[in-house]
Copies of this chain bind each other. A is one copy, B any other.
Amino acid sequence: MVVSEHPPLRIALLGCGTVGSEVVRLLHSQADDLTARIGVPLELAGIAVRRAGRTRDLPVPADIFTTDPAALVARDDIDLVIEVVGGIEPARTWITTALKLGKSVVTANKALLAEDGPALHEAAAAGGSDLYYEAAVAGAIPLVRPLRESMQGDRVTRVMGIVNGTTNFILSSMDSTGAGFADALDEATALGYAEADPTADVEGFDAAAKAAILASLAFHTRVNAADVHREGITEVTAADVASAREMGCTVKLLCIAERRRDPAGGDSIGVRVHPAMIPRSHPLAGVGDAFNAVFVEAEAAGQLMFYGRGAGGAPTASAVLGDLVAVARNRITGARAPGESSYAALRVRPMGETLTRYHVSLDVADRAGVLAAVASAFSEHGVSISTVRQEGHGADAMLVIVTHVATDAALSGTVEALRHMEIVRDVVSVMRVEGEPSR
């Protein structure tokens, strides 16, 4: 690429925490390579931080820092903006302003994209600028670009994966040590895998935001965080994990987005985040600790899997810089990436219509006819039972039931009915079962 006539591209970095600091380091250490790949040099022109005085061990002059991100974004000499602050506001205002001013934006802000993605895309279209966000989903793993570009000639039917490292660390730990949720969370916090306020991770908000972004891209349909059925892992007990183990499964927090033909014709999609038991032979079962892995299934391509580090400063910065090179190249050649694609506008199914399987553990009375009564409750709701296992005797008798596929509404109706049966002393555990063994 011979575009040496072009002046350097000037970058504003909003946020200088774990990811931002790595972005600064990579911009410095890879400067020559980035220049060769883009055709013109990149120049870090300003870094917006909350506190300017703080000492930072970064290869940039001290006067580059500012506490006024709005002014930085609006500066005439800024060509490209990187946002790694997170949260809805004021990030939304900064990004929208930049895009409308024709400055391309690279962001890792999953919450904002899942909340208000269409408005950001509109701002980009209005300003003729680019909005890139590979780092918003699954850290360094290329997922946004493959969905946005590679799969464009195919029909994606399903996206299923592990997209939150914190909960995966906690569940892996519960599985290997037998610990309960609270202890495993404490361990994750002590090791730096969980934040001081772990709500966004353990309640599934983070995974739900990523699910919304992936579903929007996969199905060419606007999906926001509120469209995603979300259940976190705080209710997962040591008994659930032990029960999963007994049936050759492990518990994972899954993000699942599925396209399906409706009985009435036309396609609809369902998007959900919840803990589920998956067979230990499933490739996702082996994804440990802070790794992420996502399956993408498409009609022609078949099953694809993407695996790697889903978080952390350096992996996330790698994704940010990959996007930065793309928007920089576009800026120089006057090109613009395809914007939002929401033409399909598929119906988003409520959770009740989702087809899934349940694993149910019941503490039942020690009495003849219990199994028959429980089985009737399932069949009355149109739910077919796959396996029943009786554990213990007398006062400790437990029934462990795994169903065939049914609608989530029928399954939860069954559980509700079981809760009201006199012979059921307690519904000990209810969890969905996903994933046939594969490979």
Which chain A residues have a beta carbon within 8 Å of chain B's beta carbons? 1, 22, 26, 30, 33-34, 36-37, 134, 140-142, 145-146, 149-155, 220, 283, 286-288, 291, 298-309, 312, 314-315, 317-326, 329-330, 333-336, 338-339, 341, 343-344, 439
Contacts and interface: CB of A to CB of B under 8 A. Distances in A.
Contacts of A140: 298, 300-302, 304
A438 to B, nearest CB: 10
Given A220-B37, A305-B306, A318 B145 contact: no
Given A26-B153, A33-B155, A150-B134, A141 B314 contact: no
A312 B303 CA distance: 13
Between A150, A300, A309, the greatest number of chain B beta carbons within 10 A of the residue's beta carbon is seen for A300
Contact of A152 (B305, B325, B339, B341): B325
A318 B308 CA distance: 23
A320 B287 CA distance: 30
Residue with the highest number of chain B CB atoms closer than 10 Å, among A36, A298, A307, A317: A307
A335 B335 contact: yes
B309 A306 contact: no
Contacts of A330: 335
Contacts of A305: 305-308
Interface-centre pick from A141, A324, A341 (highest chain B CB count, 10 A):
A141
Contact of A149 (B1, B145, B220, B291): B145
A336 B338 contact: no
Contacts of A307: 283, 304-307
A130 to B, nearest CB: 12
A318 B157 CA distance: 14
Nearest to A296: B308
B324 A153 contact: yes
A329 B337 CA distance: 9
A304 B301 contact: no
13 contacts: A30-B155, A36-B220, A134-B150, A140-B300, A140-B304, A149-B322, A151-B322, A153-B324, A300-B315, A301-B318, A303-B308, A329-B338, A333-B335
A30 B298 CA distance: 13
A298 B315 CA distance: 9
A30 B153 CA distance: 8
Residue with the highest number of chain B CB atoms closer than 10 Å, among A141, A318, A324, A329: A318
Contacts of A335: 330, 333-336
A423 B33 CA distance: 54
A153 to B, nearest CB: 2
Contacts of A302: 140, 308-309, 312, 314-315
B338 A1 contact: yes
A423 to B, nearest CB: 44
Given A1-B338, A150-B322, A286-B439, 20 more contacts: A22-B300, A30-B154, A30-B155, A36-B220, A140-B304, A142-B145, A145-B149, A149-B326, A153-B322, A153-B325, A154-B322, A298-B318, A302-B314, A302-B315, A304-B308, A304-B309, A305-B305, A306-B307, A330-B335, A333-B336
Contacts of A321: 152-154, 300
A335 B333 CA distance: 7
A287 B439 CA distance: 7
Contacts of A152: 34, 37, 321-322, 325-326
A326 B326 CA distance: 14
* 8 nearest CB pairs, A to B: A153-B321, A335-B335, A140-B301, A300-B318, A152-B325, A304-B308, A301-B318, A142-B150
Contacts of A298: 140, 318
B149 A146 contact: no
B301 A315 contact: yes
Contacts of A303: 308-309
